[in-house]
Every structure is written in structure tokens, then in C-alpha cells.
């Protein structure tokens, strides 16, 4: 074999780097998007199931309803639009969606939790009166006649999973460095001193109709927790509001985040080589540099 036959041709592979990659540092981030929890209703002559928790979408852990973690998003040179969903109003209303989007990613939306119009618990991540959960949330539970009404579905499990009338637990996500549950369902209201407990992830406790022992509890803010069901009467309220949603970004500490007008955010936290920012209310833009 001649010495010339051993030569190799220069590579003709085309680089995948874009103009944005050359102008800006390449930034891939993790995210958590939680919809608002449902608000619960109640009437003087009847009792209600618990409201559903908000849907949970994330690249950092298993998502709502057991869906595998999503991929990180590339925000190189991008402005990301953020909207935080509110909890459903007291008296019975679905939670609002939370979502993020940019020029190079599809809209990532987490639906709000449903609200109960009967003794059955509402589904999580569904934004309707249905007992069925959405793509990222589980179903509400059934009532147990004369004892307790159905628990609302959570992002991590169905209503009634832990006990009759219990709200379903949400999903545990450690995007801030500590495990926190999001999207818990509200507990159902009950009779004779019975009530449904709220699911982990901000779900509110249901009321006890007889004896006026307990009023219902609303969902916890910025968890997407569903409100506990209310029976009304005997000094109880006609339902409570669901907990608002939240968006959290986790990104390399070597870059700086800018949160635009219209959004409310916590101070920046750190976890090892990463920083995180929790967006708690509003609608606006976020960018990194």
C-alpha cells in the first residue's frame, strides 16, 4: 500500500451551531410549571367533593399522572413568556392554566384543577367540572354515602387513594434543592365529624357538615393545591379558593436571569452549581444572559 492511500479526507460534517449560539452562551434550563388548583363549592342543603389540584409539568422529575420527565429547554438568546395561573374562586371554579413559551419552544401549559359540582371529587389538571383527570393529573374519588364525599384528584395520585374522601397527593419535585409537593387535591366534606384530608401539595381539608366541627380549607398558594369540599351551613363557608400555580426555573449559576415587569418573583436561590428562580404571580417575560 502506498503512503498516499493511507491519507484520510477532511471531514465534511456541517456544524450544528447557530448564529444565536455564537452570539450568546448556550443555556439549557430545567423548569416546573404548575397550574392553579380548583376552588370548591358548598351549599346549605348539600355537601361537596374536593377540588382537583393543578397539573404538573417539569423537566426535573416525573410529571403529573406519572408521565416521564420532559427534556430541558434551550433559552439561548431567547425571551421566555411566563403566565402564572390563579386558583379557582371560592364557591366553585376551575383553576387557571400556567404556561411558558418562547420562539423556539412550543407552549408548555399546565391546566388548572377542576371543581366539584356534586359529591364526587374533581379531577386534577382538567379545568372543568369533570371527575376525570387531565393529561397531567389524576381522577377525583367517589363519595361514601352518608360518611364523606370524594376527594379531589392530585397530580400524583387519584382522590380517595390514602383514605375515603382524601385528596390525592401531588408530585414531589426537588428543583429548588429540596423536595416539595405540588398539585395536591382537596379533601371531601363529610358528615358526623368525618372529613377528607387534603393531599400533599397544598390540598385543603374538607369540612364537616354535622356539628359545625370544621370549616373547609382552601388550597395553598403557589402549590396548585385544590380546595377542600364544603357543606355550607352551620357557620361554614360556601367553599374556599384553590391555591395559585407557580413556575420555577433552574439554570447554571454562571448566567444571570432577568424577570420583567408584570411578574412577581422570589429572590434568587442557589443549589450547588445551579440557581433557581420562583415566579409566583403575573404575566410577563424572563430572559438569561
Taking only the tens place, the pLDDT of each residue in 60-75 is 999 999 999 999 999 9
Flag whether pLDDT at 10 surpasses 80. no
Name the pLDDT band for 20 (thresholds 50, 70, 90): very low
Cell of 71: 427534556
* pLDDT number for residue 43: 62
pLDDT the model gives residue 104: 83
Structure-model confidence comparison of residues 45 and 232, the more confident one: 232
Element (H or E) spanning 19, and its range?
Answer: helix 19-23
Average pLDDT over residues 39-50: 76
| pLDDT, mean of residues 183-189 | 96
With a cut of 50, say whether residue 3 has pLDDT above it. no
Compute the distance between CA of residue 132 and CA of residue 121 in angstroms, rounded to an integer.
9
Q: Which of 125-134, 157-166, 233-242 has the lowest mean pLDDT?
A: 233-242
**Most confident residue range from 22-26, 146-150, 166-170:** 166-170
Q: What is the mean pLDDT of residues 101-109?
A: 92
Which of 177 and 2 is assigned the larger pLDDT?
A: 177
Q: Phi/psi at 5 (nearest 5 deg)?
A: -70, -20
Among the listed ranges 35-49, 51-65, 77-91, which one has the minimum average pLDDT value?
Answer: 35-49
pLDDT tens column, 225-271:
999 998 766 666 778 999 999 999 999 999 999 999 999 999 999 99
pLDDT tops 50 at residue 16: no
pLDDT score for 33: 98
H or E segment to which residue 249 belongs: strand 246-252
Supply the pLDDT for residue 12.
37
Handedness of CA 17, 20, 21, 22 (dihedral sign): positive
Which pLDDT belongs to residue 117?
A: 84
What pLDDT was estimated at residue 118? 87
Q: What is the pLDDT of residue 193?
A: 84
For residue 56, what is its C-alpha cell?
A: 404538573
Q: Which residue has the cell 415566579?
A: 279
176 to 122, 147, 158, 203: CA distances (angstroms): 29, 40, 26, 21
Confidence grade of residue 103 (pLDDT, cut at 50, 70, 90): confident
Enter the C-alpha cell of residue 80: 421566555
Tell me: pLDDT of 2 over 70.
Answer: no
Taking the C-alpha atoms of residue 122 and residue 116, their distance in angstroms, rounded to an integer, is: 5
pTM of the model: 0.90
Which of 34-43, 127-136, 146-155, 204-213 is predicted with the least confidence, judged by mean pLDDT?
A: 204-213
In whole numbers, what is the pLDDT of the chain averaged over residues?
89
Pairing of strands 98-102, 79-83: antiparallel
Q: How large is the average pLDDT for residues 76-97? A: 95
Percent of the chain exceeding pLDDT 90 equals 74
Amino acid at each position: 500500500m502506498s503512503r498516499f492511500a493511507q491519507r484520510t479526507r477532511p471531514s465534511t460534517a456541517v456544524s450544528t451551531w447557530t448564529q444565536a449560539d455564537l452570539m450568546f452562551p448556550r443555556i439549557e434550563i430545567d423548569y416546573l410549571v404548575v397550574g392553579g388548583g380548583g376552588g370548591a363549592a358548598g351549599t346549605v342543603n348539600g355537601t361537596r367533593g374536593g377540588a382537583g389540584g393543578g397539573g404538573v409539568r417539569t423537566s426535573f422529575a416525573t410529571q403529573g399522572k406519572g408521565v416521564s420527565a420532559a427534556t430541558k429547554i434551550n433559552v439561548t438568546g431567547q425571551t421566555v413568556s411566563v403566565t402564572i395561573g390563579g386558583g379557582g374562586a371560592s364557591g366553585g371554579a376551575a383553576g387557571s392554566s400556567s404556561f411558558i413559551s418562547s420562539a423556539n419552544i412550543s407552549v408548555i401549559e399546565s391546566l388548572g384543577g377542576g371543581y366539584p359540582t356534586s359529591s364526587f371529587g374533581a379531577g386534577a389538571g382538567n379545568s372543568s367540572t369533570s371527575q376525570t383527570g387531565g393529561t397531567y393529573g389524576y381522577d377525583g374519588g367517589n363519595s361514601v354515602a352518608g360518611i364523606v364525599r370524594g376527594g379531589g384528584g392530585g397530580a400524583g395520585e387519584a382522590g380517595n387513594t390514602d383514605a375515603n374522601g382524601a385528596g390525592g397527593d401531588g408530585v414531589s419535585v426537588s428543583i429548588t434543592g429540596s423536595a416539595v409537593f405540588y398539585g395536591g387535591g382537596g379533601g371531601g366534606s363529610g358528615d358526623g365529624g368525618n372529613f377528607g384530608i387534603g393531599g400533599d401539595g397544598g390540598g385543603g381539608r374538607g369540612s364537616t357538615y354535622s356539628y359545625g366541627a370544621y370549616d373547609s380549607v382552601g388550597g395553598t398558594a403557589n402549590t396548585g393545591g385544590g380546595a377542600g369540599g364544603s357543606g355550607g351551613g352551620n357557620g361554614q363557608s360556601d367553599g374556599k379558593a384553590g391555591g395559585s400555580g407557580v413556575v420555577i426555573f433552574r439554570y447554571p449559576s454562571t448566567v444571570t436571569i432577568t424577570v420583567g415587569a408584570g411578574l412577581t418573583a422570589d429572590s434568587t436561590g442557589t443549589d450547588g452549581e445551579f440557581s433557581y428562580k420562583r415566579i409566583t404571580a403575573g404575566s410577563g417575560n424572563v430572559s438569561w444572559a
